[in-house]
Amino acid sequence: MKQYDVAVIGLGIVGASAVYAAAWAGARVLALDAGAPGGGTSGASFAWLNAVRKEPETYHRLNAAGMTAHRELSRELGGDAGHHDGGSLEWAEGADEDRELRERVRRLASRGYPAEWITRARAIGLEPSLAIPDHVREVAFYAADAWLDAPRLIGRLLAAAGARGADIREGATVRSLRSRGSRVEAAVGDDTEMVAQSFLVCVGPATQAFLDPLRVVIPVGRVPGFLAVTSRPAQPLHRVVHAPGIHLRPDAGGGLLLGAEDVDSLAASAGPPAALGEAAALLLERAARVFPSARRVKVVDTRLGVRPMPADHHTIAGRIPGFANAWMIATHSGVTLGPLLGRLLADEIVRGVPSSMLVPFRPERFATAGAAAG
């Protein structure tokens, strides 16, 4: 039987990043996904790389470090690895919203994050096809923000890991982990068991259900999110834009990617596909108000994803309580954080070097039970 140092379960952006980092560190890696890598939440994400609305400061710093990890990874992989620079723009409507935005820009800038106010004219210089209302005199600009073609990066990470000997298997559902005392001994598949020295669980929104049989309670909720993809507009959009009631960015296929927080819940309760069409039409109507070229595009696709949402909204990354050789990562903002968390946990598992940055984000803060009997 082939020997593995680490088995990574789940190949979204988080697991694929860990597979890459572990293979890079010299480990013999087994990488398993129930479906196609990137086919889960990571393939249905807005994928804005940012640390803009991430509080408290420790979580903001983790996300900012995640953005740095993305830039390093993109340079390391070379060619098109899906990373799109350009920053992001935001403006608000209403006194409360404007006050919140001003306070946020001030707070971010005081932490050294690239956040500033630019004139309306300069914002239009950056995005000539944007219809910023006349009364908006200044726009917030976050120069270091980016967006990611997540499926592309996942493909590149796994190809690079495969070239270093990682054994990557799609359509390989792990039904359970077989454990004895405080050790996980094998990942149990449909008709086979896979043995490794260590296990890393990166199953995104399936985390809680996956860990349940081990009698480990780590509260990771499932929060639906909805996006619409349009055909290619006559005028291009170059970066992420947050306008009142709508956020939009270029999609990897050349169209626009549209979302709005209130439409998420509408779409989640929508039921039949016709209702999803209504949610998409609403997004398109809102987009056309700030990006007039959107009046002549069509919705060509919709994406309904499920966010893995830790109970306190913050990353959970570390050893699974009660187990000596099994680790987990579950996080919102996983597209921003995937490469950083994958690298930090690969360092911990393969090299035995824990990161001080992860101290506030360990699973123990939720743990209520220990290991299952073997």
Ligand X SMILES: Cc1cc2nc3c(=O)[nH]c(=O)nc-3n(C[C@H](O)[C@H](O)[C@H](O)COP(=O)(O)OP(=O)(O)OC[C@H]3O[C@@H](n4cnc5c(N)ncnc54)[C@H](O)[C@@H]3O)c2cc1C
Residue 338 CA, distance from chain mean position: 6
Residue 331, interface with ligand X (CB under 6 A)? Answer: yes
Under the criterion CB under 6 A, does residue 310 sit at the interface with ligand X? Answer: no
Residue 42 touches ligand X, criterion: CB under 6 A: yes
Minimum CB separation of residue 234 from ligand X in Å reads 26
CB 29 within 8 A of CB 23: yes
> Rounded to the nearest whole angstrom, what is the least distance from the CB of residue 304 to ligand X in the complex?
8
Q: 321 vs 339, which CB is nearer to ligand X?
A: 339
| Residue 29 found at the interface with ligand X (CB under 6 A) | no
CB atoms within 10 A of CB 215: 14
Choice from 40, 310, 321, 363 touching ligand X (CB under 6 A): 40
Q: How far apart are CA 329 and CA 313, in angstroms?
A: 13
Residue 238 region by backbone torsions, left for phi larger than 0, else alpha for psi between -120 and 50, else beta: alpha
**Contact window for ligand X (CB under 6 A) among 30-38, 104-112, 125-133, 316-324:** 30-38
Whole-Å CA distances, 294 to 136, 281, 289: 21, 11, 8
| Binds ligand X (CB under 6 A): choice among 18, 203, 228, 267 | 203
Residue pointed to by tokens 């999803």 = 276
208 contributes a contact to ligand X by CB under 6 A: no
CB of 205 to ligand X, least distance (A): 6
Query: Shortest distance, CB of residue 147 to ligand X, whole angstroms?
Result: 8
Among 82, 151, 204, 310, binds ligand X (CB under 6 A): 204
**Could you say whether residue 41 binds ligand X (CB under 6 A)?**
yes
Helices assigned H by DSSP within 175-301 = 207-211, 261-268, 273-290
Smallest gap from Cβ 135 to ligand X, in A, equals: 28
Restricting to residues 238-297, which ones interact with ligand X according to CB under 6 A? 259
Find residue 264's DSSP bridge partners: none
DSSP letters along 7-32, please? EEE--SHHHHHHHHHHHHTT--EEEE
3-state SS, one letter per residue, for 145-158: CEEECHHHHHHHHH
Among 82, 233, 255, 308, binds ligand X (CB under 6 A): 308
Q: How many residues bind ligand X (CB under 6 A)?
A: 40
CA distance 316 to 36: 24
- Binding status of residue 321 toward ligand X by CB under 6 A: no
Contact flag: residue 332 with ligand X (CB under 6 A): yes
Which of 4, 24, 48, 142 contacts ligand X by CB under 6 A?
A: 48
Q: Which residue's Cβ has the minimum distance to ligand X?
A: 12
Measured from the Cβ of residue 49, the count of other Cβ atoms closer than 10 Å reads: 25
Question: Cα–Cα distance between 202 and 8 in angstroms, integer?
Answer: 7
In the complex, what is the shortest distance from the CB of residue 13 to ligand X, in angstroms, rounded to a whole number?
5
- Chain residues that interact with ligand X, rule: CB under 6 A: 9-15, 32-35, 39-42, 44-48, 173-174, 202-206, 210, 225, 227, 259, 305, 307-308, 331-336
